[in-house]
Amino acid sequence: EKMAQLLKEQPLDSALHTQALAAMQRLSLRRTLQDRIIELGIVEWVVGVLGWQGEAIHGAPSEFSLEFGSALLMNLALRTAGKRKCADLDVLSVAFSLVEHWNPQIRTHINGTLYSLLALPSFRASARRAGLEGVLRALYGQSKRAGDDISARQVEYLLDKLDPEAEDEREADPGAESGEDDEDDDENFLEEEELAGLLLGDRSGHSAEEDLRGFLATPAVAEAQGREFRAFLA
């Protein structure tokens, strides 16, 4: 709870906030903690950060905030509770603003979030009305012309999720997509496998520590920041 409080109250460019966001993103990888993180209002907060909206957002998000925030959202969107939270928020606007971001990791995290949310019939319908298919087809063409096979493959899977014929097949299977029961363990395992194989194939073995290296401070500064962070959580 203190970490959630820190995320919401500290400026986005502060050392405390950076450490808390990295820690929260790592915690969100654990299925046993995802529901608790969602209960603390982190989905609402991170959508606000990624869309740079809301009175609770202290400053413009940095590249670090966008990358780790989008990864955090992708992890939480695996849960039924996370999907429901996202369905009540303007996640599509956030996706439209970041799906063409120059940073491939941010694009991948946004694609992964969309992949999870498109399991909801209501979100698919909203995405179609908002013109997501046209945006994705344009991105697919750009990716193919640039020789970016990984991005092109990600977009292909999203287009498959939007396909009405594929939707009819899913609806014909009563157990394929209930979205109502919170029996998430088996469902999430399958979805995580899909995300790993279909969206994150180039990231196999890539850890949060590797992402953090470009943002690390000198040892002395890092130690001082660590003491401040631990003191806040104490």
CATH of the domain at 72: 1.25.10.10
- Token readout for 112 is 């992964």
Residue 121 is assigned to a structural domain of this protein: yes
For residue 53, tell me if it sits in a domain.
yes
How buried is 35 (Cβ within 10 angstroms: 0-12 exposed, 13-18 middle, 19+ buried)? middle
Domain span including residue 65? 1-167+191-204
Q: What is the mean pLDDT of residues 182-190?
A: 52
Task: Report pLDDT digits (tens) over 48-83.
Answer: 999 885 445 556 788 899 999 999 999 999 999 999
The answer to whether residue 67 is domain-embedded is: yes
Q: Quickly count helices (H) and strands (E) in the chain.
A: 15, 0
Region 74-98: what's the mean pLDDT? 95
Q: What is the pLDDT of residue 215?
A: 37
Residues 107-165 have pLDDT tens digits of: 999 999 999 999 999 999 999 999 999 999 999 999 999 999 989 999 999 999 998 77
Band of residue 14 on the pLDDT scale cut at 50, 70, 90: confident
For helices 121-129 and 149-162, angle between their N-to-C axes, nearest 10 degrees: 110
| DSSP for 6-72, written as a single string | HHHHS-TTSHHHHHHHHHHHHHTT-HHHHHHHHHTTHHHHHHHHHTT-STT--SPPPHHHHHHHHHH
The stretch 175-183 carries a mean pLDDT of 46
* Cα gap 223→3, rounded to integer Å: 18
- Measured CA to CA in angstroms, residue 42 lies from 25, 63, 147, 188, 218 at distances of 11, 19, 36, 19, 30
Percent of the chain with pLDDT over 90: 53
The total number of structural domains in the chain stands at: 1
Q: What is the largest CA-CA distance in the chain?
A: 60
In a domain, 92, yes or no: yes
Q: How far apart are CA 71 and CA 222, in angstroms?
A: 23
Residue 182 lies in a domain: no
User: The whole model's pTM is what?
Assistant: 0.77
Domain assignment of residue 213, yes or no: no
Neighbours of 206 (CB within 10 A): 11
Mean pLDDT of 35-50: 95
Token pair 């698919």: residue: 124
Residue 43 within a domain: yes
- Mean pLDDT of the 187-216 span: 48
Rg (alpha carbons) of the chain, rounded to whole number: 18
Q: How far is CA 98 from CA 57, 61, 113, 185, in A?
A: 18, 12, 12, 29
User: Per the domain annotation, does 215 fall within a domain?
Assistant: no
